[in-house]
Chains A and B, each alone.
Chain A
Amino acid sequence: MLKPGHGESRGIPDGNPGTATRAIPGGMLSKARAAGFPMQAGRGEPRDSAREPGLGALRYPPAPQMRFFEYESRAIVANAGIPVTQHGFVKSADDARRVAEQIAGPVVIKSQVLTGGRMKAGGVQFADTPEEAARHAEHVLDLEIGGHHPRGVLVDSRAAVKHEYYAGVVWDGIRKRPVMLFSDMGGIDIEEVAERHPEHVATAHFSTLRPFAEWQAKQLIASLGVSGSALNRLTPILARLARLFLDYDMTLAEINPLGELEDGSFVALDAHMDMENEARPRQRAILHELGVGDEETRQAREPTPFELAGEQVDAQDHRGVAGNVTEFDGDLGLVIGAGGGSLTLFDAVRAHGGRPANYCEIGGNPSVRKACGLAKLVLQKPGVDKVAVMMSIVSNTRVDIVARGVIKACVELGYDPAEKIAFFRIPGAWEEEGFKILARYGVDYADRSVSLHEAARRAVEKIQGSAGGDGAAPAERFRQTTAEIGDERDV
């Protein structure tokens, strides 16, 4: 009997990166949990639950890894010497027909999108003839899944599979080593296997300093009782997977299912690879080979115009960082920093009933221009009534420079800083200078004696107390004072 090798059986056929169930070492993977895995898969994709009222799906910060399309993952695997089924990546129905003709057998047409729910959405179709393959391809190529338009389709032969295995490698953040997972129950979600049949999942950590040795793979596979020819054929495949994981700076390298065919040979029926973003500069060779451009970020969703404008503010000046600008739909604009401070302050604003209009992380000693640009962007966002300018104690970033920047933004937009800046709480370097400037413009500010939460509370109180703000501030009065705020004279 022909057992479909592409997961159309057993419930999780999708092979989609990004489906929650796909996350290998997810929170429920008991063995993985015991091993202290970093659960790297399944991140960076907006799920339905991310679209809750008030909090949209986030784009920033960039996911720590870059997800590959399935056709790229297969190329990586094949390049490492691991056999794959005969397949072709195409962008037209005609090409799909040609690939199906070459395969000369039953095929599966799979949408190439970086989002979950592919199977459910009808993005995976089976065809017995080249004509049928072309028909399906035409449909799938036009099918938008979760807001993503497919890049193309994979036309894959349907192999005669005798048994399905699982092989994967991820990082373990606690042991600080890579860990290899192997199961003789492949084709379904490994998380589910680990939960229901933990005796069918084996794991082994390995060194990053010494080359991965064949015996390590062999020992892992044999620990599940796999012997004979299967053991000897699986060993080099797992060893190659472990090596490619390190060679290409992956955060996830997974083959599922890893199929044993009727003739006893093994083939990767589906693969999923994520590469760490920080390593992209040194992985240019393979990325170029795969046709991945340097600018291709593959984030969970496309940036909004507001977020793109935030990137421009950051890019216009090399000094400091105005990063991770992310849009929300509230009325309180936030100029907050840095990493930990931003997380704390965003929580604090919400805890006090505030509705943030954005998230951001400003720091690293930004220029007046950058602070001004960010504040302007936030102030001009539709629905924003006031901005709160808050950070944890700064030692590198200068309080006076940020103060100048945000006041300048108000003034240049014709607003009264005292009215538009709901609250300013940045203690630390050059605070005396900064507070002087704030006092001169009547801006409500505080030093370190006011906690982050208290600052957030005051900012929220201010915006709730105002009836929407008329925005028609006495522009002239402030425009004349712009000059004294200075621009880069403080650098």
Chain B
Amino acid sequence: MSILIDSQTTFIVQGITGREAVNLTRECLDYGKGAKIVGGVTPGRLGRDVHGVSVFDTVGQAVEHNGAPIDGSVVTVPPAFTKDAVFEALENGVRLVVIVTERIPRRDVAEMVELAGEHGARIIGPNCLGIIVPDVVKMGGIGGPARDAAKSYSPGPVGVISRSGGMTTEMSSTLTAAGLGQSTAVSIGGDAIIGSSYAELMPLFEADEETEAIVIYTEPGGRMEADLARWVSEHDSRLPIVAFMAGRFMDEMPGMSFGHAGTIVEGKEDTAAEKIARLAEAGIVVAEEISEIPAIVKERIAARV
């Protein structure tokens, strides 16, 4: 099984006529069993077609054309228009919104997240590459073209959650090479405020029978790792978690930030060293190198049985 999406998930691509969105649409259609992209939205482009996907002016038109509610949307519109696009999707009954767009002001993200909460919907991102269920479906640019994604991702027992889109693929590829497939890999985005954090995705993986372990990619900055450590301590999770922390060098440069906007040295407990300590306290193994991860995962899965 998987979390968030499966082969039956219907979704639209908002901003579908943009260059990156056209590629992303192709990739998703080609990958696995082929994504059910039931429409695309670009205002003023009603009647066009992107790789066989009908383009509409509004989300409402896409829903009407589909004849049933649409599960998800991949949003790739420019930052100034993202909030409106996401609001439109949410108000039209979309329950899962993957926001690819980068550089969205925090206030807009907070508003989108708040509205999603009121609708019982979920946001992944912004500034993320989306979700992939190996060999089944992908929603977003994650893993790249179908042929490339197939090299890195394979089905199996590991749930992957990463603040870096590229590192989602790097870590999954390392697992795949070691014979450990992935149940679902989620690129959650690197911004200071994101729709779904590690701790918020954990209950989904917890409920997924196929998932036996979790691998996460983390960076300094923010409090998401501390939040995950708290969740794990409070919920007695059945899933062993192995983490990799990049950007340790930033501890020697207080007051500075690197990488994603959320990679911020915000205070003592947001440093790499402090996060590693917190994760360790909660029983989460922090690998020194990515190549160590598969062995640790296997060992931890074996120890649970």
Contacts and interface: CB of A to CB of B under 8 A. Distances in A.
Interface of A: 18, 20, 23, 25-28, 33, 36-40, 42-47, 49-50, 52, 55, 57-58, 60-61, 63-64, 171, 173-174, 176-178, 207-209, 246, 249, 251, 276, 278-279, 281-282, 300, 324, 337-344, 346-348, 350-351, 359, 361, 363, 391-396, 427-429, 448-449, 451-454
A393 B258 CA distance: 20
A340 B151 CA distance: 20
A19 to B, nearest CB: 11
8 contacts: A27-B266, A28-B268, A49-B254, A50-B252, A55-B252, A64-B264, A173-B222, A392-B166
Contact of B247 (A52, A347, A452): A347
Contact of B253 (A58, A64, A324, A342): A58
Contact of B267 (A23, A209, A391, A393): A23
Contacts of B274: 27
Across the A-B interface, give the 9 residue pairs with the lowest CB-CB distance, nearest first: A395-B144, A340-B164, A27-B267, A27-B268, A39-B266, A340-B167, A343-B246, A343-B247, A392-B170
A338 B114 contact: no
A254 B174 CA distance: 46
Contact of B166 (A338, A347, A348, A453): A338
B71 to A, nearest CB: 23
B96 interface: no
Given A42-B267, A341-B170, A453 B291 contact: yes
A44 B114 contact: no
How many B residues are at the interface, by size bracket?
A: 35 or more
B53 interface: no
A176 B79 contact: no
B261 interface: yes
Nearest to A245: B107
Given A279-B107, A350-B249, A208 B114 contact: yes
Nearest to A64: B261
Contacts of A251: 106
Contact of B257 (A63, A173, A209, A346): A63
Given A343-B219, A359-B258, A278 B105 contact: yes
Nearest to A396: B144
A208 B110 contact: yes
B64 to A, nearest CB: 27
Nearest to A361: B259
A454 B291 contact: yes
Contacts of A300: 255-256
Contacts of A246: 107
B167 to A, nearest CB: 4
B174 A451 contact: yes
B223 A38 contact: yes
B219 A340 contact: yes
A343 B170 CA distance: 13
A340 B162 contact: yes
Contacts of B144: 394-396, 428-429
Nearest to B259: A339
Contacts of A42: 255, 266-267
B261 to A, nearest CB: 5
A178 B110 contact: yes
B259 A47 contact: no
B88 interface: no
Contacts of A453: 289-291
A40 B252 contact: no
Interface centre among B111, B192, B244 (most CB of A within 10 A): B192
B259 A28 contact: no
Nearest to A27: B267
Contacts of B141: 395-396
Contacts of B264: 38, 40, 43, 64
A451 B174 CA distance: 8
Contacts of B219: 340, 343
A343 B259 contact: yes
Given A174-B224, A341-B167, A347 B249 contact: yes
B149 A395 contact: yes
A38 B232 CA distance: 21
B227 interface: yes
Contact of A392 (B169, B252, B257): B169
B191 to A, nearest CB: 9
Given A39-B267, A347-B246, A361-B259, A393 B106 contact: no
B291 A451 contact: yes
Contacts of A281: 80
B295 to A, nearest CB: 13
Contacts of B110: 171, 176-178, 208
Interface in B80-114: 80, 103-107, 109-111, 113-114
Contacts of B152: 393, 448
Interface string B263-298: 111111110001000000000000011110000000
Interface centre among B115, B144, B149, B289 (most CB of A within 10 A): B289
B175 to A, nearest CB: 12
B193 interface: yes
B181 to A, nearest CB: 16
B248 interface: yes
A393 B169 CA distance: 7
Given A36-B227, A278-B105, A64 B255 contact: no
A36 B145 CA distance: 38
B177 interface: yes
B144 to A, nearest CB: 2
A228 B25 CA distance: 62
A176 B109 contact: yes
B257 A64 contact: yes
Contacts of B26: none
Contacts of A276: 105-107
Given A61-B259, A346-B247, A347-B249, 12 more contacts: A38-B222, A38-B266, A58-B256, A209-B114, A340-B162, A343-B246, A343-B247, A350-B249, A359-B258, A393-B173, A395-B169, A429-B148
Contacts of B111: 208-209
A344 B290 contact: yes
